[in-house]
Amino acid sequence: MGSCMGKESPVDKKSDTNDEQNVDKSAASLKEIDVNSGPVQQHSDRYVPEPPPSSPPPEPTPTSVKPLYIALYDYDARTEDDLSFAKGEILEVDPDDLYNDWWRAKSRNTGKSGFIPSNYVAAYETLEAEDWYFGEIKRPEADKLLKTPINEHGAFLIRESDKGGYALSVKDGDMVKHYKIRKRESGSFFIAHNNPFSTLSDLVQHYTQNADGLCDILKKPCVKVEKPQTVGLSHDTADIWEISRDSIRLTTRLGSGNFGEVWQGLWNDTTPIAVKTLKPGTMNPKAFLEEAELMKRLIHDKLVQLYAVCSKEEPIYIVTELMPKGSLLDYLRSEEGRKKKMEELIDMSSQIAAGMAYLEKHNYVHRDLAARNILVGNNNTVKVADFGLSRAIDEDIYEAHEGAKFPIKWTAPEACLKNQFSIKSDVWSFGILLTELVTYGRVPYAGMNNRQVEKPQTVGLSHDTADIWEISRDSIRLTTRLGSGNFGEVWQGLWNDTTPIAVKTLKPGTMNPKAFLEEAELMKRLIHDKLVQLYAVCSKEEPIYIVTELMPKGSLLDYLRSEEGRKKKMEELIDMSSQIAAGMAYLEKHNYVHRDLAARNILVGNNNTVKVADFGLSRAIDEDIYEAHEGAKFPIKWTAPEACLKNQFSIKSDVWSFGILLTELVTYGRVPYAGMNNRQVVEEVDRGYRMPKPNLCPDKLYDIMMACWKKEYVERPTFETLQWQLEDFYQTDSKQYKELAK
């Protein structure tokens, strides 16, 4: 109910008390980790709670009828019916209001009553009431909050991690360190195995006095820079969108555009707001109010909140929360915006994606996503604005101003050409917005007009080949032989003397053309940035040509054995593994089985990029040929037991193969099961043998391998899980800490 953005409240209980045990026991059980132990340190600069704003309220009694809440922020009344209160005040709440956004409450500190915003308070003496508890925020958000200048070394917070557990985040100089908090079946919490605590409060209290392996003692809780947005301007506007124009005072003109102006103003002479005034004739009031019925239900901290409208006369007013630094487009072009570092720009992009993910979850399409429709606040905060407004704009007006119904350079091809808008067309626009971010507001498609831009983007080598897979052999010129194998050769070449391609030429008799073309019907629909794209085939005569995108550094197996590959550090190898898992997760999502996942079927590009290749080809290979070359229908050392013995292939047998591929990565291309032949491998694996941990392989990575090699295929992880585990491994593993929180 209440937000978790408070500052400070007492945590002076001893570790053997159980005051909060019932609250803390409701958390999900946590994964096991270790934290480096260190010397016990004593500091005088430890966390000491602030005194309450006035004399302490009387202790609640068991006979209290109304539930008690504690204020997490200061709040100044906006109307005569509101209650002003200070952070730390104890409030009695009317239980009949608990399902609303505004509650009737009485302060035990001042004795005054009135309405309060529900997200400014938390239930008394609960975890949410602690100033150091930040609820369900992700690691990057914790980093951002702790790195703000107001927070000094030793500032900390506890957050709910992605998997339902808890994590402690601590500012350590210019960095932020993260520690997982485990929970035992008995209900106790700990970071180090030998140091359990009854509650999270006890844990915090201990580490404010003793570092015990942390980077330092915990000092002050992370400061919350911004208060949450209330739902509506007040309790009586939360569900009423039409407000009196007389209640609005425009103060400062912030900007103007084709459809009107944007002003800073005050509502009821108390509350800062932004007001968009629309030129007469721009918007159909009925259409907008219908859209507002949907928009008012969309509340997220990365969406600009619509508070109210004045639509009974023109100009129409659209009243929203105030974002003091204006549009992202103008901000990026300003002196302050041009100083933003890449990590800050990427942080902005993640916030925008979070807002759009919320719209996506609610099946809501923006239709005009661009930097001009993103607003900027303090502390690098951005929010998505104007979602839904394009639907209420008169299309003739919009066309007159923009030269088309929608701004072409931001609009997806299917939306431009067929008026087919969806969340996926918003995704296209988000990609354009990313270019605006990293170029500090440069117009996309520089030097091109709308007509040039509107030409549709194609899949395949050209518009002629997008849906036609059989191309003329005469259009292909082979230039450089890249390698050879049992089934043929791989060449670099040119299509139409313009486009670099890779060509796999198959030995006569290797592949059944009909079988391959049937498989291609499925393969051509699989498009992902971690899959090698199949462009075309030449199958009418032998040798069959398979034409794909060119990956200049060849197969991962050859690359790992090369001089350049042998110089790859472990973190780069793990990054490669996460990319492969991402490609396989896409196949998994589409119920597609690779059946021959190995380093030889992964291709390498520039900048440590890898992509999954040859998915599906094993199904089109003549099985007798494959058996003759490999000694079995499939390469035994990479193949799961149920596939070897029972010919049962599934995405879970691909997971087994992925575990073998991981050994190839960390051994720089060594053949798995060294010294064993295929028959021995089948027999020993069936008896329970698993390869030992390779030299220099991190323990955590070997744990992932062993999970892939579970005998019961249903117990093996999904590729989606493997992807986030490896991405998390790459981003958070550290020489100083055995395991950090996600």
Query: With contact defined as beta carbons under 8 Å apart, do 615 and 587 qualify?
Result: yes
Q: Which residue has the tokens 């239980």?
A: 95
Of 245-254, 382-391, 438-447, the range with the lowest mean pLDDT is 382-391
Report d(CA 469, CA 553) in Å as an integer.
25
3-class DSSP state for residue 545?
strand
8-state DSSP, 316: P
Of 24, 212, 368, 386, the catalytic one is: 368
What is the predicted pLDDT for the residue at 434? 97
Q: Is the pLDDT of residue 538 over 90?
A: no
Q: Strand runs (DSSP E) across 404-533, as ranges?
A: 476-485, 488-495, 499-506
Return the closest-CA partner of residue 583 out of 616, 618, 610, 554.
610
Residue 684 burial (10 A CB sphere; 0-12, 13-18, 19+): middle
Q: What is the side-by-side strand order in the sheet with 306-310? A: 248-257, 260-267, 271-278, 317-320, 306-310
Query: With contact defined as beta carbons under 8 Å apart, do 355 and 384 qualify?
Result: yes
pLDDT tens by residue, 141-157: 899 899 988 999 999 99
> Which residue pairs, CB below 8 angstroms and at least 24 apart, start in 87-93?
87/6, 87/7, 87/53, 88/9, 88/50, 88/52, 88/53, 89/52, 89/53, 89/54, 89/57, 90/57, 90/124, 91/116, 91/121, 92/64, 92/66, 92/67, 92/68, 93/66, 93/67, 93/68, 93/69, 93/121
How crowded is the C-beta side of 148, counted as CA atoms within 13 Å?
18
What is the predicted pLDDT for the residue at 466? 52
ω into residue 543 within 30 of 0, thus cis? yes
8-state DSSP, 198: S
Cα torsion 70, 73, 79, 80: sign: positive
- Check if 368 is active-site: yes
CA 271 to chain CA centroid, Å, is: 33
Return the closest-CA partner of residue 514 out of 482, 489, 539.
539
Query: With contact defined as beta carbons under 8 Å apart, do 110 and 89 qualify?
Result: yes
Q: Which residue has the tokens 């995704």?
A: 427
Mean pLDDT of 241-264: 84
What is the predicted pLDDT for the residue at 391? 55
Of 61-70, 229-238, 376-385, 647-656, the range with the lowest mean pLDDT is 61-70
Are β-strands 610-612 and 602-604 bridged in parallel, bridged antiparallel, or unpaired?
A: antiparallel
What is the predicted pLDDT for the residue at 718? 94
Q: Which amino acid is at 559?
A: Y
Of 35-44, 147-156, 545-554, 563-572, the range with the lowest mean pLDDT is 35-44
Binding residues for ATP: 504
Are β-strands 68-71 and 90-93 bridged in parallel, bridged antiparallel, or unpaired?
A: antiparallel
Radius of gyration of the chain (CA): 30
Phi first, then psi: give them for residue 330, nearest 5 degrees. Answer: -65, -40
Q: Which residues of 265-286 are buried (b: 16+ CB within 10 A; e: fewer)?
A: bbbbeebebbbbbbbeebbbee
Return the closest-CA partner of residue 212 out of 196, 224, 228.
196
How crowded is the C-beta side of 311, counted as CA atoms within 13 Å?
19
Report d(CA 26, CA 21) in Å as an integer.
9
Range of 136-145, 192-201, 224-233, 348-357 with top mean pLDDT: 348-357
Mean pLDDT of 31-46: 36
Are β-strands 260-267 and 534-538 bridged in parallel, bridged antiparallel, or unpaired?
A: unpaired
Q: How confident is the model at residue 312 (pLDDT cuts 50, 70, 90)?
A: confident
Return the closest-CA partner of residue 636 out of 622, 612, 657.
657
What is the predicted pLDDT for the residue at 100? 85
8-state DSSP, 556: H
What is the predicted pLDDT for the residue at 468? 64
Written as one string, the DSSP assignment of 34-82 is: ----------SS---PPPPSSSPPPPP-TT--SPEEEESS-B--SSTTB
What is the predicted pLDDT for the residue at 484? 74
In order of their start, the domains of the chain are 68-123 (2.30.30.40), 135-221 (3.30.505.10), 241-321 (3.30.200.20), 326-439 (1.10.510.10), 473-550 (3.30.200.20), 555-728 (1.10.510.10)
Return the closest-CA partner of residue 251 out of 314, 322, 330.
322
Length of the chain: 742
Of 176-180, 621-625, 643-647, the range with the lowest mean pLDDT is 621-625
Written as one string, the DSSP assignment of 669-689 is: SPPSSTT--HHHHHHHHHHT-
Which residue did the predictor score with more confidence, 628 or 365?
Answer: 365
What the block records as the tokens of 454 is 């509107």
Taking each helix axis from N to C end, the angle separating 651-666 and 570-589, rounded to the nearest 10 degrees, works out to 170
pLDDT tens by residue, 386-424: 876 655 444 443 333 333 345 788 988 888 888 888 899
Cβ count near 256 (within 10 Å):
12
What is the predicted pLDDT for the residue at 19? 35
Report d(CA 638, CA 652) in Å as an integer.
13
Query: With contact defined as beta carbons under 8 Å apart, do 382 and 332 qualify?
Result: no
What is the predicted pLDDT for the residue at 451? 54
Written as one string, the DSSP assignment of 473-493 is: GGGEEEEEEEEEETTEEEEEE
8-state DSSP, 17: -
Q: Which amino acid is at 628?
A: A
Q: How confident is the model at residue 742 (pLDDT cuts 50, 70, 90)?
A: very low
Cβ count near 113 (within 10 Å):
15
What is the predicted pLDDT for the residue at 53? 52
Taking each helix axis from N to C end, the angle separating 423-438 and 342-361, rounded to the nearest 10 degrees, works out to 170
What is the predicted pLDDT for the residue at 56? 54
What is the predicted pLDDT for the residue at 465? 54
Residue 141 burial (10 A CB sphere; 0-12, 13-18, 19+): middle
Binding residues: 504
